[in-house]
Chain A
Amino acid sequence: MHTFSEGTPGRVRDLVDVVRGQISREIFVDERIHRLELENLFPRAWLFVGHASQVPQPGDFFASWMGSDPVLLTRDDAGKLHVLLNSCRHRGMRVCRYDEGNTMRFTCPYHAWSYSIDGSLVSTPGDLHGVPQLKAAYSGKLRKEDWGLVRCPKVRDYKGLVFATWDTEAPEFDDYAGDFHWWLDNLADAFDGTEAGTEVFRGVQKWRIRSNWKLVSENFLGDTYHGASTHASVEAVGIGPGGRGKRRHGERPNEGGFSRGRFKTSFRLGHGASDNLDYELPYPEFAEQPLNDYFTEAWNTRKAKLDKEARPLGGRGPATMFPNMSFSAGFPRTILVAHPLSATETEVWRWYLVDKAAPEFVRDWLRHYYMRYAGPGGMTEQDDMENWDYATQASRGVVARRYPYNYQQGLGEEVPSALRQAVHSHHAIAGEVNARAFYRRWSEFVDNLSWAELNKLAEVDDRATARAQG
C-alpha cells in the first residue's frame, strides 16, 4: 500500500485498491490530496445546491456552497433559477452575506458594483448593471457584459432538487445520475406518489465537524453495518414512529428487521444506495391511529399509481449521490450535504422534506421526528459525529497512516443488476460494495481523468460479469 507522506502526489488511484479492498488513510487526512479534490472533483461534479421551494418567488435567493466556492441560488423575474458565484468580479468581496432573502440586485459593499437578476435591465440575469463612475473610470470601455457574476453553466431543477455544475463539458444531469434517479424520485415525490410533491421545511441545519467529508458520504452510501453498534442507544430507547421500544425507522415486526429481501445497489458512477428498487418496505406502524390511517392511504395510492407504471416501490435509501449529497427518502426524509472545508474539517447541512399537501398533524409529527432523529440535536446522528471526528483524529498519526482501512465486506460477490451501470450485493447489512465503487470513482475524478475517459469507464459496470467470466 502506498503512502503519501513525502514527495509530490502521485496517482490517488494507487491509494484506492478495490481489488484487495484496501484504501489508504491518506485520502482522509492529507491536505495535498484534499487540494486535488477541490480542484479536480468538486468543480466538475454535479452538486446539490438547494431546493426550489426555498426560492419560490422572483428575487428570492438562498446562499449555498459548491466545494470551496460560495454561490447564490436565485430566481429571476421570469421564474428561472440561476446559480451564481457569490464573489464580486472587481475585488472578490462576497456580494451577499445573507443566508436567504429577496432582492433583484446584489450590490457589493466594497465599491458598489451591482449585479441584477432583472432580465429587463441586463441581458443575462446576474450580469453587471451598476458601476460607480463608469465613464470617468473606464472611459466607457468597460464591457459590462463580460463582468457579470460568474454563473454555473449548467443548472438542473430535478423535481425541486436543484443541482449545478461549473463544467460545461460535464455530462447532462440525467446521464450523471443514471438509473440512480429512481432514488431521487422517491426523495422528491410525495408519500402518495405525487410527482415532485415535496417541499422543504424552512430552516437548514448547518454545523461543523472535524472530519473528512468522505466519511459522511460513505456513511449514508450504504454503511448499514454501523447501525447496530453506533446507534445501539437509540434502538434501546426507541425514538421512532412506533414510540418507545420500537425501531427507529419504524419497520414493522413482520419484516424481518431491516434486511429480508434487501440488496445494496452500487453504481459505477459512484452513487450508492442501501437498498434496491424491489425492496418494498411499507410505511411504518405509528403509535397514533390518525398517522397510521394517513400513511396507509398514502402507501395504497402510491402503490396503485406505481403499479400502473410498472415501477417498483422500493428505493428509499439511505443513499449518496456522488460525491457529497446524501439522503433518506423514507423515515426520516432528509437531505445532507457534506461541504469540504479542509482534509479534516467539514460543514454539514441538512434539509428536511415534507409533502406539500400534508395536513398539519402530519407535518408536525414529521418535524418533531426529524429533529429528534437527525442533525446535531438528533439522538441518532449525534453518535455518528463522534465516530467521524475521532476516526479522523486517530488516522492522522504518522504510524496510523501506514495502515489502510479495510473495505473487504462482500468482496468479489457482486451480482448483476437490471439497472444500467450498477451491481447489487446480497450483503444487505455488512457489505462494502458501495464504498469501493464510490472511492474508485472518486480517485478517477481526483486523478483528473478527462470526461471521455470518465464516461468510458462508467459505460458498463463489469464488476459482476467480469467475475462470472473470470
Chain B
Amino acid sequence: MAIDESAVQRLLLLAEVTDFLHREADLLDERRYEEWLSLLADDYQYSVPLRMNVRYNEVAEREQTKAGEEICWFDEGKETTELRVAQLATGKHWAEEPVSRVTHLVTNIRLTSTELPEVEVSCRFIVYRNRVADESDFLVGRRRDRLRRTGDGWQVCRRQLLLDQSVLLAKNLSVFI
C-alpha cells in the first residue's frame, strides 16, 4: 500500500507541535519562567476576554469582550508578561508566596491552519492551582495558539484563551494560564 506522504507530514507536524506545547507546560509547572519566556516571540500577543451571559442569538457579537478594545482578564504583549515574571522573582509577590502548586493540561490539540513557518492550533486547557491548604482553582477553557517555527525551534506569537467562567471563581489570576 502506498504511503500518503502528506498525511505523514501532517502527523509529524502535529507530533512536533504537541511536544512543544507539552514542553511549554512543563516549564511553567516547574517554574522555569525565564526559559518559558524564551519561547514567546517578540510580537507575542496574549488575550483572555471576559465572558458574559447573553442571548443565544447574540453570542457572536456580545458573548465575549473584544481584545484590542475592551476590558479582558488579560490583553498584553511580551513586555508585560516579562514584568509578571520579574514580579514573581521579587519574593514579595504575596499572591504567590508561598508558591502555588500548578499543573497545566493541554489537550484536544488540533492543527487548524498550516502556513509554515506558522501554524494555528486549537486546544483545550485545564489549569489546576492548589494554594496554601484548601485553596483550589480549576481554570478550564478553549485556546487558540499561533506558533512560528524559527531556527531556535517553535515560538508562540499569539495566544487567545476563552475561560469558561463569567464570574471568576478564583480570587486572582496570579499564575500563567
Contacts and interface: CB of A to CB of B under 8 A. Distances in A.
Contacts of B170: 207-208, 376
B62 A377 contact: no
A376 B94 contact: no
Interface string A164-207: 00000000000000000000000000000000000001111111
A347 B166 CA distance: 12
Interface stretch (A4-12, A107-115, A385-393): A385-393
B93 interface: yes
Given A100-B52, A371-B72, A386 B95 contact: yes
Contacts of A385: 95, 171-172
B166 A99 contact: yes
A372 B76 contact: yes
Contact of A233 (B73, B76, B93): B93
Interface stretch (B16-24, B35-43, B53-61, B147-155): B53-61
B1 interface: no
Interface string A355-382: 0000000010001101110011101011
Nearest to B93: A233
Contacts of B168: 205-208, 376
A78 B95 CA distance: 48
A201 B71 contact: yes
A208 to B, nearest CB: 5
Given A101-B58, A376-B172, A367 B71 contact: yes
Contacts, number: 126
A363 B71 CA distance: 11
Given A98-B54, A203-B50, A239-B83, A382 B71 contact: no
Contacts of A204: 50, 71
Contacts of B2: none
Nearest to A347: B167
B5 interface: no
B50 A205 contact: yes
Nearest to B97: A386
A383 B167 contact: no
A202 B65 contact: yes
Interface in B151-177: 166-174
Interface in A222-241: 230, 232-234, 236-239
Contact of A205 (B58, B73, B90, B171): B73
B126 to A, nearest CB: 18
A205 B62 contact: no
Contacts of B13: none
A101 B92 contact: no
A411 interface: no
Interface in A398-453: none
Nearest to A201: B71
B93 A203 contact: no
B34 to A, nearest CB: 15
B138 interface: no
A259 to B, nearest CB: 21
A201 B95 CA distance: 27
Contacts of A347: 167
B70 interface: yes
Nearest to A202: B70
Nearest to B51: A99
A264 interface: no
Contact of B84 (A100, A379, A386): A379
Contacts of B169: 207-208
Contacts of A236: 86-87, 90, 92
B114 interface: no
B94 A386 contact: yes
Nearest to B52: A99
Interface centre among A203, A208, A236 (most CB of B within 10 A): A203
B120 interface: no
A371 B75 CA distance: 8
Contacts of A375: 73
9 closest residue pairs by CB, A with B: A203-B71, A207-B168, A203-B65, A382-B95, A233-B93, A233-B90, A382-B172, A233-B92, A232-B92
Given A208-B170, A386-B171, A387-B94, 17 more contacts: A98-B55, A100-B54, A100-B62, A101-B58, A207-B169, A208-B167, A233-B92, A239-B83, A347-B167, A367-B69, A371-B74, A376-B170, A376-B172, A379-B84, A381-B172, A385-B172, A389-B135
Interface of A: 97-101, 201-210, 230, 232-234, 236-239, 244, 347, 352, 363, 367-368, 370-372, 375-377, 379, 381-383, 385-387, 389-390
Interface of B: 48-50, 52-55, 58, 62, 65-66, 69-76, 80, 83-84, 86-87, 90, 92-95, 132, 135, 166-174
10 contacts: A98-B53, A98-B54, A99-B53, A202-B65, A202-B71, A363-B69, A371-B75, A382-B95, A382-B174, A385-B171
